[in-house]
Amino acid sequence: MDEEYDYAKLKDAGKAAYEALEYSRKVVKPGMTLLEIADILEKRIIEKGFELAFPVNLSVNENAAHYTPHASDATRVAEKDIIKVDLGARKDEYLSDCAITIGLGESTSKMIEASEEALENAISLVRAGRQVNEIGREIGKVAEKHGFRPIRNLGGHGVGRDDLHSGVFIPNFDNGDTTMLEEGEVIAIEPFITDGEGMVRDGELLQIFQKTMDATPRQNDLRAVSEFIDSRYRTYPFALRWLQKEFPRIGEFGIRRTLNELATRGALESFPVLVERKGGMVAQSEKEVIVEKEGCYIVTR
């Protein structure tokens, strides 16, 4: 175990995220807009005294990940949608990450159950010395047992201080990676299961960004946006709609000019919505855990 790592803060962040995640079951209803849902869940985390680890993701149907609503998003939840709710809380530099899938129709209930079973089985395998491909093998086996496919180019990840995706990658199938988990390591396990091809592609929507290095635009109005990102979000992911609330005068066009300049200078990473390549429905389940000698501690519970 890392003696300098404040696991108590991590557990606090995990509890806050899990509470908001469970609350989403009451919030996600037909007729609600995705923007309303995101605002409610983000506000709930903040009102508990935490920062957001990243914008709430509400990825519907064939969208697997990285869909967060834009400022004027009028998309409403439909009767038979399958919605991935992925969120996290931050306490200082300690980050939590968890997800569930809410199905509003019966047609995807078996897929959701398969993703949940895959997650629980994967968690039962976690311990120091476990090879990550063994975890992936179990996720893939559960998916295929129920007649679905794991998404092969998505998976879980290590979670570091100030870094939501660091270190080890946890595959959703046996990718042959024999990297061993280490005691004290923090990982997020997130099976993605589909009735489609089992691969995702980049979609057109681009609403989540992350500044990766220092860079300042030359124009004053653009510089103000960049300096706000530095002071408020630092190197944590943020949503375009958050900046639109802060800079209504500059507007979306001016904000995107700022982001484009930062990206051109190599100082910004973007996260396009990820879409199942053949348009298949996608279910996701995710929990964050601390690797222990003989098992693991579930952080997001």
pLDDT, tens only, 26-79: 999 999 999 999 999 999 999 999 999 999 999 999 999 999 999 999 999 999
Q: Which residue has the tokens 């009451």?
A: 26
Three-class secondary structure of residue 177 per DSSP: coil
Q: In terms of domains, do 212 and 194 share one?
A: no
Calpha distance 50→35 (Å, rounded): 20
Averaged confidence pLDDT in the chain: 96
pLDDT band at 117 (very low <50, low <70, confident <90, very high): very high
* Active site (annotated) includes residue 157: yes
Q: In terms of domains, do 126 and 237 share one?
A: no
Q: In terms of domains, do 161 and 229 share one?
A: no
* Active site (annotated) includes residue 66: no
Q: In terms of domains, do 191 and 208 share one?
A: no
- Residue 228 has a pLDDT of 95
pLDDT, tens only, 138-147: 999 999 999 9
Q: Which residue has the higher pLDDT, 3 or 226?
A: 226
- Residue 167 has a pLDDT of 87
**Is 26 a member of any domain?**
yes
**Is 231 a member of any domain?**
yes
**Is 102 a member of any domain?**
yes
* Active site (annotated) includes residue 286: yes
Catalytically annotated residue among 117, 190, 195, 276:
190
Which CATH number covers residue 236?
Answer: 1.10.10.10
Catalytically annotated residue among 73, 97, 261, 276:
97
Which CATH number covers residue 98?
Answer: 3.90.230.10
- Residue 187 has a pLDDT of 98
Calpha distance 163→74 (Å, rounded): 32
Q: In terms of domains, do 255 and 125 share one?
A: no
> Averaged over 167-185, what is the pLDDT?
97
Cβ contact 270:264 at 8 Å: no
Cβ contact 84:64 at 8 Å: yes
How many structural domains are present in the chain? 2
**Is 2 a member of any domain?**
no
pLDDT at residue 1 greater than cutoff 70: no
**Is 134 a member of any domain?**
yes
Catalytically annotated residue among 86, 174, 261, 276:
86
Catalytically annotated residue among 62, 138, 286, 288:
286
* Active site (annotated) includes residue 165: yes
- Residue 108 has a pLDDT of 93
Residue 225 in tokens: 């946006």
**What domain range includes position 121?**
7-202+274-298
Catalytically annotated residue among 157, 174, 261, 288:
157
Q: In terms of domains, do 21 and 79 share one?
A: yes
* Active site (annotated) includes residue 92: no
- Residue 116 has a pLDDT of 98
Q: In terms of domains, do 173 and 222 share one?
A: no
Contacts of 47 (CB under 8 A, 6+ apart): none
